[in-house]
Structure 1
Amino acid sequence: MNRQSHAPSREAIVANAMHPVVRELRLVDIADYIAFIRLEHFASLSDIVDSSAELYFMPGTLRLGHGGEADVGWQGNPRVVLDLELCPEGARVYFQLTMTALDASIEINYVAFDKPHDDPQADTDFLASALDRARFQPLTLS
């Protein structure tokens, strides 16, 4: 697949939005991810994703897509890849979250807009604002 010129900026927007959720996802032991993926217990993975997202996004904004994969061998670092969907109002982002011992990365597979613009930058700006609206805002006590 050919990457489009606006893909890196959209991946940065999604990565920024996902940052606190990834911290939550990392609280789960990697052995659990491996077991759930290998045994195809995707409902359990879905529960983990839902629980990790509930403090940061409105309900239904982030969900597990078609599952995931676990690369674990006798040599090298384990790697867990989750297929995820971000569904802020007006857009849908299909992406993969890859987590290793030292880092995490986002790769967008497809972005769909309910009302796409002719200008890709306008769609990118819309995605950023839609994700901002889908996030829970921290309470400030005065």
Structure 2
Amino acid sequence: MKKTQYSARRVEILERHLTEVIKDLLLVDVADYIAFIRCELFGNIADIVNSATELTFYPNTLTFGHGGEYHLDWNSTPTVTLDLEFSNMGVNAYFRLILSAHSTEIDLHHLRFAETGRSPAENTALLEAAFADAHLPQFTASESTD
């Protein structure tokens, strides 16, 4: 996606809302991701993504996009790239999550809004609202004992 003032803000929104999911995805051994990608076992990665999202987002709002790649050589830290899709409230975001031992990065490829004609600022606000709406309610320990 072309870098603009709006795209930078939109990537920040994704990063903030995906923090817990990314933590869960990093619990999986990098060798497993590499093996699944190399052998084209994308269903296994979809299961991992579903497991990582099930406590944070409503079902089918954040899914694996059935694509990924890895970078592995003798001179650098391995990186795994997963294609992800977010869909809620007429907002669709297609992006790549790049995972490594030292950092994570989101490469936002495309946003689609069901209602066209909105301003970029309104679309950014709609993206924020769609992510907020997709989050499952979080209960505290005291609420669960009632």
Q: Structure 2-normalised TM-score?
A: 0.93
**Percent of aligned positions that are identical:** 37
Please, which runs of 5 or more residues in structure 1 have no aligned partner?
Answer: none
Match of 1:59 in 2: 59
Residues 1:16 and 1:117: Cα distance change in structure 2 (over 3 Å) = farther
Match of 1:138 in 2: 138
Please, which runs of 5 or more residues in structure 2 have no aligned partner?
Answer: none
For 1:37 and 1:5, how far apart are their aligned partners in 2? 34
Q: CA deviation at 1:66?
A: 3.3
Is the 1:116–1:123 contact (alpha carbons within 8 Å) kept by the matching residues of 2? Answer: no
Is the 1:91–1:111 contact (alpha carbons within 8 Å) kept by the matching residues of 2? Answer: yes
For 1:129 and 1:118, how far apart are their aligned partners in 2? 15
Q: CA deviation at 1:133?
A: 0.6
Q: Deviations over 1:16-69 (max 9, x none)?
A: 111100000011111100000000000001000011000000000111113100
Q: CA deviation at 1:3?
A: 2.6
For 2:16 and 2:2, how far apart are their aligned partners in 1? 24
Q: Deviations over 1:67-105 (max 9, x none)?
A: 100101111110000010011221000000001111101
1:4 partnered with 2:4: yes
Is the 2:72–2:78 contact (alpha carbons within 8 Å) kept by the matching residues of 1? Answer: yes
Alpha carbon RMSD of aligned pairs, Å?
Answer: 1.2
Match of 1:77 in 2: 77
**Counterpart code for 1:112:** R
Q: Structure 1-normalised TM-score?
A: 0.95
SS of 2:133 mapped into structure 1: helix
